[in-house]
Structure 1
Amino acid sequence: MPGFIPDILTTIAMIGCAYTVTGAVLAGRWRAPPPPRRDARAWPSITMLKPLYGPEPDLAAKLNGFLDQDYPGAIAMLCGVADPADPALASVPARAVRMVSAARHGSNAKVSNLVNMSGAADGDILILSDSDMIVPRDYASRVVAALEAPGVGAVTLPYAGLGETGGWSRMAAAGISWGFLPGVMVGLATGMAKPCMGSTIALRRETLDAIGGFARFGDLLADDHAIGAAVREQGLSVAVPPLIVTHGCTETGLRALVAHELRWNATVRMLDPAGYAGSLVTHPLAWALIAWIAGAGGWVLAAAIACRLILAARIDYVVGRRTAPLWWLPARDLLSFGIAVAAFFTRRVDWRGARLHMADDGRMTAETETH
């Protein structure tokens, strides 16, 4: 093997280490200040939109968490399903409104659900979020305060992972907390990321109307990203306040974990092919291992492992819990790298019972309809 190849691989690994250390430093910024206090009459009303599908662990507790808020204004919740026999309905709080409608508005079942719910949402502010999210009691206050800043059209939030169903779910959570979350932090700090995530999208009713309503996004797989882009087209920003919420991971096996993460990676690759290719450098442990196999010194591998362990420990400290055993990190990192590479060759993904074909323009077609 030519002698320059180990040097190139070592350089890539060191760039990844620098990225990792930057993420560890930036993590300290995500300490939320106390939420502002105002007169109760000044707080706008909120409608929480919750598209549901199928059973989930602790779903009732998660939904109640969005209602049990230290928020002076009125909060309502709409929970929508497409099937009246959907088991998720059993977990809907009594205080929430159940909406059942099978009307389809494109290939994206979640967006169809949102379209069906949005007509009944009468809050000043709409907050949509995935059903697997867990939020603190000051969530609503912080989101509304961020939305009311000048020039802000929407608010979104980064999230950490929490394993809820055993070892594989903790491995999935580690991928979020130790991989995805630092990437968001670095991307925001450098201005390279313009996120809008399904963890939270808060916007005013007039903003939603101005961007064409939810129906505009009915055939898009990355609907959350597209909503953010549409808000920015109006000359408004998408704010990301210093609050990290939690994604409950429920994977029970390797196959489910890979299918979920492959869909996510393929979506990111579809949205930004060049940026996604560049993001491969953010996997220093994998590059260091390849460099070591190619003949580089063992110090490269040791440095990459040390940097990644520091970042994982730092993230766990910031979110206030151990995501997974730190000794899992090498296996988790190599799995993440493998999935990242596989996403370059993925054109079909599984999503909630449907097999979807992904087009280069971000649109999707369902090969098997969800029942």
Structure 2
Amino acid sequence: MIPMVYTVYGFAVFFLVAWVCLWLIHIMALSYSKWKLYRTVDRSPPELPYPGVSILKPLTGVDPNLESNLETFFTLDYPTYELLFCVEDERDEAVKVVNGLLHKYPEVEARLFVGGSRVGVNPKINNMQPAYLSARHPLVLVSDSGIRMREDALLDMVQQMQSREDVGIVHQMPFACDAEGFAALYEKVYFGTTQARLYLSADFLGINCHVGMSSLVRRVALDEVGGIAAFGEYLAEDYFMAKALVERGWRLRVASLPALQNCGTRSVGGMQARLARWARLRIAMLPATALLEPLSECLPLGAGAAWAAGVLLSAEPLPFFLVHVLAWFLLDWLLLRTVQNGSLPFTKVQFLVGWVWSEACAPLVLATALLRPEIEWRTRSYRLEWGGRAHELKPKLKF
């Protein structure tokens, strides 16, 4: 048997190596964000016309910001695009909102698709399938209902796509619009620190980090793998879509402008349920996530590294841990300011409260994901198999 002392030293070395790696990732993300984000969009006339874009907007229900969010897509600064709105049920209140905007902007090419087409268990794919088949342009932008678009965001994404012929997907990094309340603070802190750190470092290292809430895809590349219908058996269709394209030699790129989430019904509980749902998806796709993900969080990583430093270096664990937390906090503040591209809509004290809340809740969110494996999305429930395939527990609609 291996003596206990070697086991202890082995764990200590593991924690210190993980600690060094995460700090390198932290520094990498901050440096890369300053180079990657908010680069000036080239508005000079192109040598060749920009390709047309078909924008798919899957909708379910109405929140207070839906109309203003959708309206930003009617005023995009881009020469040729069409808007394809998708709803499952003609009685959905979103139909009235869309029809009002169609009447307000008759000069914009836009259509409404009602009913969907069942090609799998993923309700988003089912909802978009008829619109995807009817899309007229070589580029397809899949954009969630809660996204608010800057007028130059589509131009930025297309220019990233046109930079290389082998770029198959350009996706925006998730972020959040400014809003009032603690839930909005929590959302902005999470997406501007934890999510941004992993997203940016993964993009820099060439790792698939694709989140499909605002994602531009080459139609020819997507059709090579069967179109969006090929991913109807997955709930994390964005990850598997990117994986399929990368396996065929296509590249992924992150746009320079983040995706601005602007849902009008924010809540702390809703945010945590959302994070738990994403954690369940990651665990089903990559089971090692359950073991390694806690080490990406400030508090568990700092506690483990402080213990390891005491074992290997005879350091005082408490001062080590406190310095670690302070340095992590300061770098997160700098990263969030970079992702925000300017002053934050809250004070440093408010950021501290939101940051502590986000970091303290992270282990609890992961524990919830492990203890309750079912996925709940709106009024539906799913169970995941290893590998990411899903089964609906309570089918709702028949197409």
**TM superposition score normalised by structure 2:** 0.82
Displacement after TM superposition at 1:17 (Å): 4.4
Task: Give the Cα separation in 2 of the matches to 1:337 and 1:15.
Answer: 20
* Structure 1 residues not aligned, in runs of 5+: none
1:244 Cα offset (Å) = 1.8
**Cα 1:77/1:90, change in 2 over 3 Å:** same
Which amino acid is the alignment partner of residue 314 of structure 1? L
Counterpart contact for 2:69–2:262, Cα < 8 Å: no
Deviation at 1:223, TM superposition (A): 0.5
Unaligned runs of 5+ in 2: 311-315
For 1:40-87, what per-residue CA distance to the aligned partner results, in whole angstroms no more than 9, with x for missing partners?
96111111100011112311222222231222x211101100011112
> Which residue number corresponds to residue 58 of structure 2?
51
- Check the 8 A contact 1:352/1:370 in 2, yes or no: no
Match of 2:133 in 1: 119
1:152 matched to 2:173? The reply is: no
Which residue does the alignment assign to 1:322? 344
Give 3-state SS (helix, strand or coil) of 2:62's partner. Answer: coil
Map 1:197-236 onto structure 2 (within 5 A): 197-236=211-250
Q: Summarize deviations over 1:171-201 as a string: whole Å, max 9, x none.
A: 133222211111111122233x212221322
Number of the residue aligned with 2:71: 64
Structure 1 residue 272: Cα displacement: 2.0
1:26 aligns with 2:32: yes
Contact in 1 for aligned 2:116/2:128 (Cα 8 Å): no
Matched, 1:285 2:331: no
Matches within 5 A, 1:71-82: 71=78, 73-82=79-88
Contact kept, 8 Å, 1:108 with 1:218, in 2: the verdict is yes
1:101 aligned to 115, 128, 133, which one? 115
| Shift in Å, 1:283 | 0.9
Given that 2:235 and 2:390 are in contact with CA atoms closer than 8 Å, whether structure 1 keeps it comes out as yes
CA deviation profile, 1:22-48 (whole Å, cap 9, x unmatched):
433332123333333334961111111
**Secondary structure class of the residue paired with 2:249:** coil
1:245 aligns with 2:259: yes
Q: Deviations over 1:259-283 (max 9, x none)?
A: 1110011112222222563232221
Q: Which moved more, 1:162-171 or 1:201-210?
A: 162-171
Kindly report which structure 2 residues correspond to 1:262-281, keeping only aligned pairs within 5 A, or say none. 262-274=276-288, 277-281=291-295
1:336 positional shift: 1.6
| CA deviation map 1:230-278 (0-9, x unaligned) | 2223321122233322123556444322211100111122222225632
1:259 paired residue number: 273
Aligned to 2:362: 336
- The residue type equivalent to 1:221 in the other structure is L
Give, in whole Å, the separation in 1 of the partners of 2:380 and 2:387: 20
Residues 173 and 366 (structure 1), Cα distance of their counterparts in 2 relative to 1, 3 Å cut:
farther
Instruction: Work out whether residues 356 and 365 of structure 1, in 8 Å CA contact, stay in contact via their aligned partners in 2.
Output: yes
- Shifted more, 106-115 versus 148-157: the winner is 148-157
Change (3 A) 1:10 1:127: closer
Aligned-pair identity in percent equals: 19
> Against the structure 1 CA distance between its residues 309 and 50, is the aligned structure 2 distance closer, same or farther, given a 3 Å change threshold?
same
Preserved CA contact (<8 Å) 1:348 1:358: yes
Rounded to whole Å, the distance in 2 between the matches of 1:203 and 1:356 is 27
Deviation at 1:290, TM superposition (A): 7.0
Residues 86, 127 of structure 2: 8 Å contact kept: yes
Aligned twin of 1:362: 388
Question: What TM-score, normalized by structure 1, do the two folds share?
Answer: 0.88
